[in-house]
């Protein structure tokens, strides 16, 4: 997978995790069993962790950026 693709997938999954957490809260308020919803949430979080590890590995393989970035400089 390419770095941009992985970053996009991480972003998509994080948004989905937020929706899943809201759904779990609704289930809790309704007094409905939520074991399967929590299991799904955990699988999603595990997938995000794996993608972050893959992303970090790809970032290490990239050649160093050229040119210097001046910090604090004003125009």
- Domain parsing of the chain, residue ranges: 3-61
pTM over 0.85? The answer is: no
Which stretches within the chain are classed as H helix? 3-30, 35-61
| Alpha carbons 33 and 47: distance in angstroms, whole number | 24
Tokens of 47: 């997938």
Nearest to 24 by CA among 9, 52, 10, 44: 44
From first to last of its 75 residues, what are the pLDDT tens digits of the chain? 699 999 999 999 999 999 999 999 999 999 998 889 899 999 999 999 999 999 999 999 888 777 666 666 554
Instruction: Give SS3 for 69.
Output: coil
* pLDDT for the residue 20: 94
């Amino acid at each position: 997978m390419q770095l941009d693709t992985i970053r996009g997938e991480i972003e998509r999954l994080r948004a989905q995790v937020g929706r899943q957490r809201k759904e779990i809260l609704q289930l809790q308020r309704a007094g409905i069993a939520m074991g399967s919803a929590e299991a799904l949430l955990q699988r999603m979080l595990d997938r995000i962790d794996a993608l972050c590890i893959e992303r970090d590995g790809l970032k290490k393989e990239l050649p160093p950026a050229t040119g210097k970035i001046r910090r604090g400089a004003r125009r």
